[in-house]
Amino acid sequence: MNFERYQIKSYSEYLSKYKKSINTPDVFWEAVAEHFLWHKKWDSVCLGDFKNLDIRWFEGGQLNITENCLDRLIPTHKNKVALYFEPNNVETPTRQYTYQELLDEVCLFAHVLKNNGVKKGDRVCIYMSMIPEGIIAMLACARIGAIHTVVFAGFSAQSIATRIEDCGVSFVIVNNAGIRGEKKLYLKSIVDTALNLVSDKQLVRKVLVVKHTEDAVDMVSERDIWLHEEIAKVKDMGLSFFPAVVMEAEDMLFIMYTSGSTAKPKGVVHTVAGYMIYANYTFVNIYQIKEGHVHFCSADIGWITGHTYLVYAPLSAGVQSVLYEGTPTYPSPSRLWQIVEKYKVKSLILAPTTIRMLMTYGTKPIEQYDLSSLKVINSIGEPLNESAWDWVHNHIGNKHAAIVDSWWQTETGGIMISSFAGITPSQKSYSTLPFFGIVPILLNDFGAKIRESNVKGHLCIKQSWPAIVRTNYSDHDRFKETYFSKFPNYYYAGDVAMKDKKGFYRILGRADEVLNVSGHRIGSAELENTIASCEAVIETAVVSFHEDIKGEGIYAFVVLKPNYKDYLEIRNQIIDKVAQVIGSFAKPDKIQFVVGLPKTRSGKIMRRILKKIANNDIENIGETSTIIDASVIDDIIRNKQS
Ligand code: PRX
């Protein structure tokens, strides 16, 4: 495939094409869609808008995303590598799959699913670490038309159970155990615990287990099956190729759960055609993909970045992707640079938190590695602060690689605001310009458009784009309420941003009660509910505070019931509870026991004040006259955690 022919090549081309993309989106996206493999072309390009919220792209079209990621590439990429697997331990042999081999594996896996009763529309939960079988499992679901919901392998059993119940999962795929750095993750046993927590014991019929390590697991008879045994059966049956199930453009491809401002995570639904086209087109243009491009996305498949820019977009663009199982610091903080040198990586996706963490080791771990292959360093998930930008630019990109800071969300499916590597200007701390078809707008608290430059506002999007979230699984009302009620007729992202004189956007952080810790999105209500479920706790408020490496840390203010005074013990209980209910990554960094929380007369907790205290910004606490009992603030400040 030659994707270069639909890539923009200059800033002026971006400017003229951008205008066309927003003025005549149907014409624009139709031309892009022509490059893909369809069983039947679409009847219309975009239907529905932000008023009726029945959004449909390429309606009437029929296709399968795996044919576009695999079969379509066979004539040109049959023997080219699609996936390099770099295991956690340096001594473990690496693996690689050509496009043909990956297609073969996906077909065998799809047969296994089918033989075990999985069919189009079924929901399949994937709880796996960063191994090729995780990607193969996703693609096999897509091939058969099952809807995957990948749960990040850091989530707890309780979180898995909640997700399984919410979308009615009937089939689970897991590896017996995973390895990350020095740590073993006993994933199968976590799934066992999760399934015990699911109230409908008939819901999950089968658990397919991938043997990744030598660790033994308990297999529940009638329910649990080994992948290698099932594949052997498929081969014995003489089956190999699996014809892709023909999907409607708007059939669901996957559900990805994400945190919002309420306690329950919501199931973000993406559909086949629009997602695929947008993922591919952003990738090819922003990363300026050329023949033989090697791409390394260090994000986990359990998050949207892994879905879009580790699995679907790179494969659909015929690049060679690197999948790395371990952590950036194992066995040493040189690991990522060793991988870049080994595979001659051209584009690298890094979270700012990883950059800041690696910065603490200085430049020594980098010095002996040749990073000259790197052309694009892409930062995703949090604001990339200036010192991190400088460090990457000077030491990783050696002043020649493009630093691309891309803003987007689980709900947007693909990158929304970003520079295009080496094509459009890149500016420190700015995500810069909107992608084709994206019309950002900044609104003030009253919904009026902010026209001046450098004024903060709510980042909203004015018109539909192909990969926009279609609904929240089985809760369309919540979808309408979350994204379209604060400012009717606009998609509300929940972020605060500003725009400079040149029209470049700078993302400043969340406006709502969502925390962004190491690039992980965590709802404060979700955390508060969990902490409040500890026996000793009356109530709690959770806010974020600035943390040098993680970007944001979690600060919990907790009011205890009378006579609960064993603070150390209660503190441990709270931390254990959060790890058990959500996952270890959501543990509070600071817990302060307080006599009360500052509240308005209507009983609303004044988080604004707590956030100022957590950030040591006590002089700027502001107006406190509306608080019922202002003395609690003095108490909180007096006993603040350093
Ligand atoms: O607050 C923004 C932040 O991450 C949020 C989306 O999180 P999630 O759905 O988990 O997706 C993360 C990967 C796309 C956004 O609402 N965010 C994402 N990218 C950036 C960012 N904040 C600043 N700069 C970015 N480049």
Q: pLDDT tens-digit profile of 373-386?
A: 999 999 999 989 89
* C-beta of residue 372 within 8 angstroms of C-beta of residue 401: no
Q: pLDDT tens-digit profile of 198-253?
A: 999 999 999 999 999 999 999 999 999 999 999 999 999 999 999 999 999 999 99
pTM: 0.94
Q: pLDDT tens-digit profile of 160-184?
A: 999 999 999 999 999 999 999 999 9
DSSP string, 104-130: HHHHHHHHHHHHTT--TT-EEEEE--S
CA of 256 to the centre of ligand 1 (A): 15
Residues with CB under 6 Å of ligand 1 are: 258, 304-305, 380-383, 405-410, 431, 493-495, 507, 510, 516, 521
Instruction: Give the per-residue pLDDT at 626.
Output: 72
Terminal-residue alpha carbon distance, the chain: 56
Residue 394 burial by Cβ neighbours in a 10 Å radius (0-12, 13-18, 19+) = exposed
Instruction: Give the per-residue pLDDT at 602.
Output: 74
CA of 381 to the centre of ligand 1 (A): 4
**Mean pLDDT to the nearest integer, 59-63:** 98
Instruction: Give the per-residue pLDDT at 622.
Output: 79
Determine the Cα–Cα distance for residues 635 and 593; give it in Å rounded to an integer. Answer: 10
Give the position, in ligand 1's atom list, of the atom nearest the Cα of 494.
Answer: 16
CA of 608 to the centre of ligand 1 (A): 21
- Is residue 66 over pLDDT 80? yes
H helices present in 116-238, as ranges: 132-144, 157-167, 187-197, 227-236
Determine the Cα–Cα distance for residues 141 and 535; give it in Å rounded to an integer. Answer: 42
CA of 105 to the centre of ligand 1 (A): 33
- Kindly state the DSSP code that residue 393 receives in the 8-state scheme: I
For atom 13 of ligand 1, the residue with the nearest CA is 381
CA of 493 to the centre of ligand 1 (A): 10
Structure confidence at residue 1 as a pLDDT band (50, 70, 90)? low
CA of 520 to the centre of ligand 1 (A): 9
Strands of 308-433, DSSP E = 320-324, 347-350, 376-380, 402-406
Select the more confidently predicted residue: 14 or 260. 14
For atom 26 of ligand 1, the residue with the nearest CA is 407
Give the position, in ligand 1's atom list, of the atom nearest the Cα of 299.
Answer: 13
Residue 330 burial by Cβ neighbours in a 10 Å radius (0-12, 13-18, 19+) = middle
Structure confidence at residue 324 as a pLDDT band (50, 70, 90)? very high
Determine the Cα–Cα distance for residues 613 and 377; give it in Å rounded to an integer. Answer: 36
Instruction: Give the per-residue pLDDT at 70.
Output: 98
DSSP string, 549-575: TTEEEEEEEEEEPTT---HHHHHHHHH
Report helix, strand or coil for 4: helix
Counts of helices then strands in the chain (DSSP H, E): 21, 29
Determine the Cα–Cα distance for residues 121 and 141; give it in Å rounded to an integer. Answer: 10
**Mean pLDDT to the nearest integer, 500-524:** 91
Determine the Cα–Cα distance for residues 554 and 222; give it in Å rounded to an integer. Answer: 43
Q: pLDDT tens-digit profile of 436-456?
A: 999 999 999 999 999 999 999
Please enumerate in sequence order all residues whose Cβ is within 8 A of that of 107, keeping only pairs 6 or more positions apart, or say none: 143, 240, 241, 242
- Mutate which of 427, 492, 498, 507 for ligand 1 pocket (most atoms within 8 A of beta carbon): 507
Please enumerate in sequence order all residues whose Cβ is within 8 A of that of 634, keeping only pairs 6 or more positions apart, or say none: none
CA of 601 to the centre of ligand 1 (A): 34
CA of 265 to the centre of ligand 1 (A): 16
Give the position, in ligand 1's atom list, of the atom nearest the Cα of 510.
Answer: 1
CA 476, 434, 386, 295 torsion-angle sign: positive
Determine the Cα–Cα distance for residues 431 and 381; give it in Å rounded to an integer. Answer: 11
Q: Residue 442: what residue type?
A: L
Give the position, in ligand 1's atom list, of the atom nearest the Cα of 379.
Answer: 26
